[in-house]
């Protein structure tokens, strides 16, 4: 089943929807029939068991594949005494000049290493379809452009695509990257999904390292509407 899910979640999801729809229609037909024989109900029980098994199996596999929500770990990778490490968390605003300028300013005085994490935007529906793959591909493209830009500015930077929840993405990153500070980049208030979810304030509550919030207004920078995430 795992191979089927990874191969094409969309086809699998549609198959489950069709199967459950057929079961529902058959059940309604039996009720309308008035007094169907027991064998008819037994016959309906078989596809119900199959559909239930497939649904439970898919749920378990996907739950295992996606990290569970948890309080950020108190033990993270140790910071380096010789290198200032900055964890940057952003997605739709990764190409923002305000973010690049702030990272450059903070990296100007000390040898600095930057890890850029882009939480891949997705949804419960997207996770069953190829839309999530597209979201992760977009995040990787932004990461490549951002790391290349920071490299051109003289900043050593690497990037990785994180889970869709920025809090969990930070938690995962800190397990291996001992950051001295966290820089979170979002759209302006009123257009930022992360600000509506209090991501910045919650990070400041969870961690005892500085958390800097950088606002990137992509509409002003590029003169076109931006994605309403991050």
pLDDT tens-digit readout, 129-176: 555 567 788 888 889 999 999 988 888 899 999 988 899 999 999 999
Residue 27 banded pLDDT, cuts 50, 70, 90: confident
Percent of the chain with pLDDT over 70: 72
Measured in whole angstroms, the distance separating CA 22 from the mean position of its chain's CA atoms is 33
CB 193 within 8 A of CB 151: no
User: Mean pLDDT over residues 57-80, rounded?
Assistant: 50
CB 211 within 8 A of CB 181: yes
Residues 6+ positions from 112 with CB-CB distance below 8 Å: 83, 84, 85, 86, 106, 155, 156
CATH 3.40.50.2300 fits 84-222, yes or no: no
Q: Burial of 74 by CB count in 10 Å (0-12 exposed, 13-18 middle, 19+ buried)? A: exposed
Q: What is the pLDDT of residues 35-49, one digit of tens each?
A: 777 877 787 788 888
Q: Between these two residues, 158 and 27, which has the higher pLDDT value?
A: 158
Q: What is the DSSP letter of 213?
A: E
Q: Residue 64: pLDDT above 90?
A: no
- Residue boundaries of the structural domains of the chain: 2-65, 84-222
Residue 114 banded pLDDT, cuts 50, 70, 90: very high
Q: Residue 227: pLDDT above 70?
A: no
Collapsing DSSP states into helix, strand and coil, what is residue 163? coil
Mean pLDDT of the chain: 78
The DSSP code sequence of 19-83 is: HHHHHHHHHHHHHHHSS--HHHHHHHHHHHHHHHHHHHHHHHHHHHHSPPP-PPPS--PPPPSSS
What pTM was computed for the model? 0.62
Q: What's residue 201's pLDDT?
A: 94
Q: Residue 34: pLDDT above 80?
A: no
> CA 128, 134, 136 angle in degrees (round to 5)?
95
**Percent helix / strand / coil, the chain, rounded to 5:** 55, 15, 35
Q: Residue 60: pLDDT above 70?
A: no
């Amino acid at each position: 089943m795992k191979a089927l899910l990874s191969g094409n979640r969309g086809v699998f999801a549609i198959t489950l929807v069709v199967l459950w729809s057929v079961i529902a229609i058959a059940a309604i037909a039996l009720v309308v029939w008035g007094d169907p024989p027991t064998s008819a109900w037994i016959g309906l029980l078989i596809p119900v068991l199959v559909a239930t098994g497939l649904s439970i199996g898919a749920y378990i596999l996907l739950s295992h594949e996606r990290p569970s929500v948890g309080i950020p770990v108190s033990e993270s990778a140790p910071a380096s005494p010789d290198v200032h490490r900055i964890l940057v968390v952003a997605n739709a605003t990764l190409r923002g000049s305000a973010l690049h300028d702030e990272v450059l300013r903070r990296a100007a005085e000390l040898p600095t290493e930057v890890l850029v994490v882009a939480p891949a935007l997705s949804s419960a529906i997207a996770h069953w379809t190829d839309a999530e793959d597209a979201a992760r591909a977009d995040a990787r493209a932004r990461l490549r452009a951002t790391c290349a830009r920071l490299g051109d500015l003289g900043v050593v930077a690497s990037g990785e695509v994180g889970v869709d929840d920025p809090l969990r993405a930070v938690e995962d990153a800190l397990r291996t990257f001992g950051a001295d500070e966290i820089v979170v980049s979002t759209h302006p208030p009123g257009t930022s999904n992360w600000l509506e979810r209090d991501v910045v304030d919650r990070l400041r509550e969870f961690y005892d390292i500085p958390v800097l919030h950088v606002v990137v207004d992509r509409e002003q920078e590029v003169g076109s509407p931006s994605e309403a995430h991050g």
